[in-house]
Amino acid sequence: MTGNRLRQRPPKATHFLPHVQGLRAIAVMLVVLYHVWPGRLSGGYIGVDIFFVISGFLITGQLARELDRTGRIALPSFWAKRARRLLPAAITVLVFCSLAVLFLLPLSSLVSEAREILASTFYVENWQLAFSSVDYLASHDATTVQHYWSLSLEEQFYIVWPLLLLGATWLGVRFFAAKRWLPMVGVVVAVSVASLAASILYTASNPAEAYFVTWTRFWEFGAGAILALLPKLRPRGAWWPNLIGYAGLAMILGAGWFFNRDTPFPGYTALLPVIGTAMVITTDRAKHWWDVGSVLGGPPQRFVGDISYSLYLWHWPLIIIAPYIPGWGLSGLNRVALIVVCFLLAWLTKKYIEDPVRTWKFFTVRKPRITYAGVIGLMAVSSLVIGAAWVVNHPRYEAAAAELQQIRENPPECFGALAGPDCQNPELAGAIIPSPGFGNADSPGHTECFVQLNESAVKSCHFGSSSPDAPRIALIGDSHAYQYIETLIALADQRGWSLTTYLKGACPWTTAPVSGPSPAFTASCTAWRANLADELASVPGYDVVFTAALAHTPYTVSAANRDAALRDGFVDAWKQAAGAAIVTIVDNPDFEEDPNKCLRNAPASSCTEPRASVLDAVDPLALAGAEGGATVLDFTDKYCDETVCFSVIGGANVYRDQDHLTRTFALTLGSAIGDAIESQLP
């Protein structure tokens, strides 16, 4: 855009301020330590927000100086410089992750890894994660590239922000001749305020999606941009800079220490680290060793800040891949070694990839379109490598699925839950079916029958016999009821039942109040249960209802009479079934971590958990069954002996994640569940 220059004093150059490099070091170390030791620094995720503020400050300052100097922004050159700075290292790590999919990661990860590597290649990973976050049945095991959500958001900022500033500059030239900088500041403030409001509202209603979407984060960039456009906000004097700077550091470190997974974020709580970062940025005083600028600008801090981008890129894939490397894992010593490896790779990437490509004259002295051709080439390389991994592994994926289906249809003798002291099959010794590499993919089908997190409309699905004389069976509950859907469908087909399902994620069939990830979910669960009660009252009565629920669902009941309140909640809900017999089941153990990770590198005998740590002391469904006259199935002694609970039983892999059963193992419970239901039929 051409025109007269802005009549304002442009911000001074800020790209290499030592204290900003020190802030980058703090940001990346918060994130790395949070991911390497999740329980030690529960709010370390706020490091990403520090990066956003810094980016807003630096990029806006750069663009404002160009506007003041030339009256325009050379968009092609700006975007080309950003691409040369960021893409080579990012694509390098994506190619590494694709090779890990091909050679190291479990086969079950193929679909999610391929999808997210492609999304990261084209910088839309934040939207990919936002869309999948509302799907309760989606695999929420982190992929090697999940951290690219923040890089995707930054790239979107780099595209949109210059256009926004250009538009504001045009307004200044056209309507504010005397104070042409006012529209730019006004637009940045307006966009930031609107984004903050959206962040607060959306975090309250849908926190999982709000964490990733673009418009809930733009205000963080805007906070840095305002500092760049209004340099008079920076403190002056001998002691004001340090007072404000150290207060900002305290806010950042306090958020990193005290925030946790339950903190509503980004929303209003993100104001603490964002404002703290802005306060530190305003402080560049470094005349004495105790000044904030000196503390943040030392050589070690500058070194970490200098490699922070590559360090961020490398740390997460290594964390995800480490458990799948034989003999490695994530013991305390190995975590320290992993950090050392991350630093080494980051330094090598900075020295031999980031810096050379950024300054390579082949690109810098030619028109931006040459850089864009290089961008297309790099993205093509990333797409081709993950495409090759897909071509090689997908036939294996399909073969594993077909083999597993055959085993389900013709299971070996004494397989899974059918094994016991009087039923042993020597051929299954050492067997793990499905394999640990495919266990995560062994989930139920019929996802159309499952109501998602914030939805409240009742979905009913019908299976089995359509005869009006067939026994009427219902399956009702949360995801721990849904894990039995294939078992109940098979029983309905075998025994001539008419089966109807009513299922909603994280929402058990009870009148006890349930909490959840957001007020919107809590409201949807309450509404769904009310709609379910109306549905049950409007249809012909069922003969038997089979129900299950996660034992440690977060209920909002008084601790003083918790067991009684939870028991009564289930009993009251069961009365909605209009006299149907109730068959329920004690919940399965909940492992601390997905046992498939352990089973990949260790024998099943080593992949157990202490019984006391994975079983709830009291399952409210068992209490409700005794009070409400229900038939209660308890397979605890099948899952566990007196001391430990198993991840493999009778050759069957029990879990598809840390607390949900594989479809294959759930099918082996069929005869016991079927007999219990049959015993209650009139």
| pLDDT per residue as tens digits for the range 13-22 | 444 578 899 9
Q: 5 versus 410: which is more confidently predicted?
A: 410
Structure tokens belonging to residue 338: 């992993």
pLDDT above 90 covers what percent of the chain? Answer: 77
CATH number at residue 450: 3.40.50
Residue among 41, 49, 59 at smallest CA distance from 24: 49
Do 168 and 235 lie in one domain? The reply is yes
Q: How many helices (H) and strands (E) does the chain have?
A: 28, 11
Q: Is the pLDDT of residue 368 over 80?
A: yes
Which of 386, 421, 436 terminates a domain? The answer is: 386
Query: Does residue 484 belong to any structural domain of this protein?
Result: yes
Mean pLDDT of 189-214: 94
Q: What is the enclosing helix (H) or strand (E) of 652?
A: strand 652-653
- Per-residue confidence (pLDDT) for residue 3, from 0 to 100: 38
Rounded to 10 deg, the angle between the 271-281 and 47-70 helix axes is: 50
Compute φ and ψ for 423, nearest 5 degrees.
-140, 95
- The rounded mean pLDDT for the chain is 92
Do 294 and 382 lie in one domain? The reply is yes
Mean pLDDT of 169-181: 68
- Per-residue confidence (pLDDT) for residue 8, from 0 to 100: 45
- Per-residue confidence (pLDDT) for residue 180, from 0 to 100: 66
Say what the pTM is. Answer: 0.91
- pLDDT classification of 6: cutoffs 50, 70, 90: very low
Burial of residue 155, with CB atoms counted within 10 A of its CB: 0-12 exposed, 13-18 middle, 19 or more buried: buried
Mean pLDDT of 124-146: 85
Query: Does residue 210 belong to any structural domain of this protein?
Result: yes
Residue among 173, 297, 266, 274 at smallest CA distance from 226: 274
- Per-residue confidence (pLDDT) for residue 228, from 0 to 100: 92
Beta bridge partners of 499: 463, 473
Mean pLDDT of 455-482: 97
Do 341 and 468 lie in one domain? The reply is no
Mean pLDDT of 477-501: 98
**470 contacts 495 by C-beta, under 8 angstroms:** no
Question: Is residue 418 classed as helix, strand or coil in its secondary structure?
Answer: helix
- pLDDT classification of 245: cutoffs 50, 70, 90: very high
**Strand pairing of 460-464 and 498-504?**
antiparallel
Which of 366, 386, 406 terminates a domain? The answer is: 386
**249 contacts 78 by C-beta, under 8 angstroms:** no
Compute φ and ψ for 245, nearest 5 degrees.
-65, -45
CA quadruple 510, 511, 514, 519: dihedral sign: positive
Do 455 and 322 lie in one domain? The reply is no
- Per-residue confidence (pLDDT) for residue 231, from 0 to 100: 83
Q: Is the pLDDT of residue 4 over 50?
A: no
- pLDDT classification of 636: cutoffs 50, 70, 90: very high
Do 169 and 42 lie in one domain? The reply is yes
Do 374 and 463 lie in one domain? The reply is no
Q: How far is Cα 317 from Cα 594, in angstroms, rounded to an integer?
A: 18
Do 363 and 467 lie in one domain? The reply is no
Q: How far is Cα 74 from Cα 66, in angstroms, rounded to an integer?
A: 8
Do 327 and 473 lie in one domain? The reply is no
Do 450 and 380 lie in one domain? The reply is no
**Which of 12-16, 149-153, 404-408, 614-618 comes out lowest in average pLDDT?**
12-16
> Taking every pair of C-alpha atoms in the chain, what is the biggest distance, in angstroms?
93
Q: Is the pLDDT of residue 155 over 90?
A: yes
Do 111 and 229 lie in one domain? The reply is yes
Structure tokens belonging to residue 65: 């100086």
Mean pLDDT of 183-191: 91
Query: Does residue 342 belong to any structural domain of this protein?
Result: yes
- pLDDT classification of 1: cutoffs 50, 70, 90: very low
Query: Does residue 297 belong to any structural domain of this protein?
Result: yes
Q: What is the enclosing helix (H) or strand (E) of 504?
A: strand 498-504
Q: Which residue has the tokens 């080593």?
A: 606
- pLDDT classification of 519: cutoffs 50, 70, 90: confident
- Per-residue confidence (pLDDT) for residue 286, from 0 to 100: 67
Q: Is the pLDDT of residue 284 over 80?
A: no
Query: Does residue 9 belong to any structural domain of this protein?
Result: no
Mean pLDDT of 164-186: 77
Q: How far is Cα 33 from Cα 162, in angstroms, rounded to an integer?
A: 34
Mean pLDDT of 18-32: 94
Query: Does residue 403 belong to any structural domain of this protein?
Result: no
Q: Is the pLDDT of residue 361 over 90?
A: no
Which of 386, 411, 427 terminates a domain? The answer is: 386
Domain around 178: 18-386
- Per-residue confidence (pLDDT) for residue 585, from 0 to 100: 97
Mean pLDDT of 601-625: 93
DSSP E strand boundaries for 515-637: 544-548, 581-585, 609-610, 631-633
pLDDT above 70 covers what percent of the chain? Answer: 95
- Per-residue confidence (pLDDT) for residue 443, from 0 to 100: 95
In angstroms, the Cα distances linking 96 to 62, 354, 585 are 33, 16, 45
Contacts of 2 (CB under 8 A, 6+ apart): 71, 72
- What single-letter DSSP state applies at residue 415? -
- pLDDT classification of 328: cutoffs 50, 70, 90: confident
- Per-residue confidence (pLDDT) for residue 601, from 0 to 100: 86
- Per-residue confidence (pLDDT) for residue 119, from 0 to 100: 98
- pLDDT classification of 140: cutoffs 50, 70, 90: low
Residue among 481, 576, 473, 482 at smallest CA distance from 530: 576
Query: Does residue 439 belong to any structural domain of this protein?
Result: no
- pLDDT classification of 173: cutoffs 50, 70, 90: low
Burial of residue 295, with CB atoms counted within 10 A of its CB: 0-12 exposed, 13-18 middle, 19 or more buried: middle
Mean pLDDT of 554-578: 92
Q: Is the pLDDT of residue 5 over 50?
A: no
Domain count, the chain: 2
**Which of 148-152, 323-327, 379-383 comes out lowest in average pLDDT?**
323-327
- Per-residue confidence (pLDDT) for residue 437, from 0 to 100: 93
Residue type at position 192: S
Query: Does residue 228 belong to any structural domain of this protein?
Result: yes
- pLDDT classification of 139: cutoffs 50, 70, 90: low
Q: What is the enclosing helix (H) or strand (E) of 645?
A: strand 644-645
